[in-house]
Amino acid sequence: MNHQLAACLEHVKKPSRYAGGEYGAVVKDRQSVDVRFALCFPELYEIGMSHLGSKILYGLLNAMDGVWCERAYAPYTDMEREMRARGLPAYALESGDPLSDFDILGFTLQYELNYTAVLNMLDMAGIPFYASQRTSLTPLVVAGGPCVYNCEPVADFFDIVLIGEGEESLPELIQLYREARASGASKQEFLQRAAQIQGFYVPSMYDVSYNADGTVAAVTPKNGAPEMVRKRVVKDFDKAYFPDRFIVPSTDIVFDRAMVELFRGCRRGCRFCQAGYTYRPIRAKSPETLKKQARRLVETTGYDEVSLTSLSSSDYPHLEALCESLTADFEPRHINLALPSLRADNFNLDLMENVQKVRKSGLTFAPEAGTQRLRDVINKNLREEDLQNACRVAFGAGYNSVKLYFMMGLPTETDEDLLGIASIARNVLGNFRENASNRTRGVRVSVGVATFVPKAQTPFQWFGQIDRQEIVRRQQLLMDSLKIKNVTYSLHGWQASFLEAVLARGGRRLAPVIEGAWRRGSRLDGWDECFDLNRWLEAFEECGVDPAFYANRALGEHEITPWDHIFSGVTKQYLRGEYERSLRGEPTPDCKAGCRNCGALSLTGVKCDV
Amino acid sequence: MYKVRIAFQKDEPACYISHLDLMKALQRSLRRAGLPARYSEGFNPHIVLSILVPLSTGYRSRYELCDFDLTCDGLPPDLVPRLNGALPSGLTVIRAGQAVRPAAQAALSDFEIIWHGVRCADAMESALKNQLTVEKRSKRGSRQVDIRDYVRLYTLCEQGGDTVCRCVLKGGEDPLNPAYVTQAMIQEGILPEGTPVTYTRCAILDENGKEFF
């Protein structure tokens, strides 16, 4: 370890997150590799290390001959201060080498509020922000992750944005890079070749023109780039690459456990949910594959918990048999199964009991809205009856803590819908009094209410977010109505949700704003203690951009959105149909009841696993 | 059941692992090594493990001690290599055996302190001839203590541009963190504020100054 780094680590909180050397970290000989890839997570280590996708890509890249993939995370403010004071550049954890030494920097864009952290990491690496300022082939700065379905606000910063699943596209990127380097191709030649590959979005090859009102007039591809960039997906998910081992951190992280992925995609079609549309089509792994992967990870990591992840785990068709088989194996070894993302309408107590033999946790459900009317609008096909049934069974079995997640500011929402949230909480309390096996222990109901943020590539992309005054008024209404004994609630400040809404549906004119916010000190906007909207408001003003134009404005039916040239598989026509059904309060049956022809099948050509 | 004691080194980068995180890292390493560790029998079963003498985060050590129980009889002959294959980088087991002596007999710690970029061995030597009071904080509050009551033995020398102190400090119930030595020397005006320091525990000793295992 170099002396500068050691000196920094004397003065920061949780230094081990900056030290590397975790069990399972891959260290290769610099001389034996020809491509060095830095997997950059623009968030703190604790968050980044919890992310399954990064673990998959890390394993995949390091399994390739001649490729060494390392990790880099955003430093917390104390570490940034120490590093800058000592002139220590951003480095990768495995080798400690500066990021500027790498061939490719791959950023994952998980959350809009991480954008300034991308710039900060580039700045600390001494790498220019804009793709146009980086004229040589190396270092390439690329991006992937869920935010790519509208990455226009950050598009100018990246040479290539990989749309879809990295297992498919990253090996091709490496191959293409090697060929370009060997043939002495210029960066421009390389990018032109890249743009021909499905899922490779080269922002510099698209010109955006605007109407007088600021809306997009046209997005025009150049140099033979395709009109639409189609998402890449793994076709045979059961056989897709999955790592044999994870890096096991030596300090606490948010999700510190082994994980296997039951399936990708979700059949439910909740209209606010970006993942529910952009991860289609639905592809499941077989129970045999999952068992093998879970067992292997437990052996290699030493974890005592395995999480069965997906967007809606109780929708996995073989869940019971899988859990039974895994618990039979794991329970004697004191290994716990975790089942996040359960739905109240197919909640199964036997399953919960079976899963939680080792350690019992609380229950979490997400009704999302307070009345059936609004739940129909958002297509959260869940009835309060189902929720109360699930709670009744669970209370009877000794559970006494329930978390309920809602959103406020949903399209068509009225005060009645908001008051419905308190009414559900009260009914859960009554339910406990009637059905609890052990009433003396008392009950805890916690209600979390997030502010709705309209996201690109969803049926709700046409809606604007309610404005600041209205958010504040509705939150006050919620606070007044949720003052109930044994109920705790949490609401988020409007500021971060507002900024998220600006960035989620924003266009390329936001790039200088993001840079301006960074210049004013924005770094880790996802953290309350670091976030200050004023820096952003100043940056908007400086650039002459009205944030409300992106956050609060409803888009016109025929308006060209900034992300129209990115194809997630679900057609705009399908999304518009869902939008219209929502206005009529009409739910859409889930995909199990029959294919709705959303368009995603065009990506694989095979039927969804529902 | 067999009560195991291991001695291990804690070097870079593992020296930045905090005490609680180290316990978790060792529990996971035991599982990865496939050793039959004993679990607690409570509501939340976990491998019972204790680190005998805690070490501050960032300090290196050539000799740390940790106890755990195995459900088998006797020490597996390959325990040390198996565990070493399962540890995070910077942790190395150097010895394993039966845990016999109670932890309370680990009375002293032998530390090496390196103050980088300063040459002040003589000044420190004279400072240590007189009372050297620092405010020592503990869970029970803070009080004024004389450093010399906690230093059993010491040597001071200069190496290259650094000053090196090797000292045997009181451990046990009322231990002295070697950072207090630095604090005292700053108070005396001998060390400049912000001098880079490296602390390394060289050994854990019993009351008689013999290596404790």
Q: Kindly list the domain boundaries of chain A, sorted by start residue.
A: 3-230, 235-361+569-610
pLDDT tier for residue B84 given thresholds of 50, 70 and 90: very high
CB contact under 8 A, A250 and B46: no
pLDDT (mean) for A552-575 = 98
pLDDT greater than 70 at residue A360? no
Which chain B residues are closer than 8 Å to A22 by Cβ? 88-89
Q: What is the C-alpha to C-alpha distance for residues A34 and A57, in angstroms, rounded to an integer?
A: 18
A45 to chain B, closest Cα gap in Å:
14
The H-assigned helical ranges of A316-461 are: 319-330, 349-355, 372-378, 384-396, 415-435
Q: Matching CATH topology for A3-230 and A235-361+569-610? A: no
| Closest to B79 (Cα-Cα) out of B30, B39, B38 | B30
The confidence score (pLDDT) of residue A348 equals 76
A282 to chain B, closest Cα gap in Å:
34
Q: What is the C-alpha to C-alpha distance for residues A1 and A7, in angstroms, rounded to an integer?
A: 10
The confidence score (pLDDT) of residue A397 equals 83
Please enumerate residues of A whose Cβ is less than 8 A from a Cβ of B: 1, 6-7, 9-10, 14-16, 18-23, 25, 248, 250-252, 299-304, 334, 358-359
Q: What is the C-alpha to C-alpha distance for residues B65 and B50, in angstroms, rounded to an integer?
A: 9
Asked whether the beta carbons of B102 and B65 are under 8 A apart, the reply is: no
pLDDT tier for residue A431 given thresholds of 50, 70 and 90: very high
CB contact under 8 A, B29 and A1: no
The confidence score (pLDDT) of residue A358 equals 53
pLDDT tier for residue A381 given thresholds of 50, 70 and 90: confident
Reading the block at residue A423, the tokens are 């009414």
**Residue A272 in 3-state DSSP?**
coil
Q: What is the C-alpha to C-alpha distance for residues A415 and A427, in angstroms, rounded to an integer?
A: 19
How big, in percent rounded to 5, are the helix, strand and coil portions of chain B?
20, 40, 40
CB contact under 8 A, B88 and A300: no
CATH of A3-230, one of 3.40.50.720, 3.40.1190.20, 3.40.50.280, 3.40.50.970: 3.40.50.280
pLDDT tier for residue B138 given thresholds of 50, 70 and 90: confident
Which chain A residues are closer than 8 Å to B86 by Cβ? 23, 302
Of residues A1, A250, A303, nearest to B88 (C-beta): A250
pLDDT (mean) for A412-440 = 94
Q: Percentage of chain A surpassing pLDDT 90? A: 91
Which chain B residues are closer than 8 Å to A358 by Cβ? 45
Tokens 């060289």, residue located:
B202
pLDDT tier for residue A522 given thresholds of 50, 70 and 90: very high
CB contact under 8 A, B86 and A23: yes
Backbone angles phi, psi at A481, to 5 degrees: -80, -20
User: CB pairs below 8 Å between A and B: how many?
Assistant: 79
The confidence score (pLDDT) of residue B200 equals 98
B49 to chain A, closest Cα gap in Å:
15
Q: What ipTM describes this predicted complex?
A: 0.93
Q: What is the C-alpha to C-alpha distance for residues B17 and A251, in angstroms, rounded to an integer?
A: 7
CB contact under 8 A, B30 and A19: no
Which chain A residues are closer than 8 Å to B194 by Cβ? none
pLDDT tier for residue A357 given thresholds of 50, 70 and 90: low
Average pLDDT over chain A reads 95
Find, in chain A, the residue whose alpha carbon is nearest to that of B35.
A302
Mutation pick from A9, A250, A256 vs chain B, by most beta carbons of B within 10 Å, is A250
Q: Which residue has the higher pLDDT, A272 or A314?
A: A272
Q: Is CATH 3.90.25.10 the classification given to domain A235-361+569-610? A: no
**Residue B206 in 3-state DSSP?**
coil
Q: Percentage of chain A surpassing pLDDT 70? A: 99
A389's CB contacts (< 8 A; 6+ apart) are: A344, A347
Reading the block at residue B168, the tokens are 């045997």
Of residues A10, A251, A303, nearest to B28 (C-beta): A303
What domains sit in chain B, N to C, each tagged with a CATH number? Answer: 2-100 (3.30.70.580), 105-205 (3.30.70)
Q: Percentage of chain B surpassing pLDDT 90? A: 94
Which chain A residues are closer than 8 Å to B32 by Cβ? 23, 299-302
Of residues A14, A21, A358, nearest to B13 (C-beta): A21
Q: What is the C-alpha to C-alpha distance for residues A8 and B145, in angstroms, rounded to an integer?
A: 30
Q: What is the C-alpha to C-alpha distance for residues A359 and B45, in angstroms, rounded to an integer?
A: 8
Q: Using one digit for the tens of pLDDT, what is the confidence trace for A213-223?
A: 999 999 999 99
* Strands of A81-125, DSSP E: 104-108
pLDDT (mean) for A444-464 = 97
Whole-model pTM: value is 0.96
Q: Using one digit for the tens of pLDDT, what is the confidence trace for A236-288?
A: 999 999 999 999 999 999 999 999 999 999 999 999 999 999 999 999 999 99
The confidence score (pLDDT) of residue A359 equals 56
Of the candidate ranges A34-48, A92-106, A380-394, B58-72, the one whose mean pLDDT is the lowest: A380-394
pLDDT greater than 80 at residue A349? no
pLDDT tier for residue A361 given thresholds of 50, 70 and 90: low
pLDDT (mean) for B55-75 = 97
Q: Using one digit for the tens of pLDDT, what is the confidence trace for A122-156?
A: 999 999 999 999 999 999 999 999 999 999 999 99
CB atoms under 10 Å from CB of A226, counted, come to 17
- What is the sign of the dihedral through the CA atoms of B199, B204, B206 and B208? negative
Which chain A residues are closer than 8 Å to B12 by Cβ? 1, 6, 19, 21
Q: Using one digit for the tens of pLDDT, what is the confidence trace for B148-190?
A: 999 999 999 999 999 999 999 999 889 999 999 999 999 999 9
Which chain A residues are closer than 8 Å to B46 by Cβ? 304, 334
Asked whether the beta carbons of A539 and A513 are under 8 A apart, the reply is: yes
pLDDT greater than 90 at residue B90? yes
pLDDT greater than 80 at residue B24? yes
CB contact under 8 A, B21 and A250: yes
- What is the sign of the dihedral through the CA atoms of A221, A225, A226 and A229? negative
**Residue A50 in 3-state DSSP?**
coil
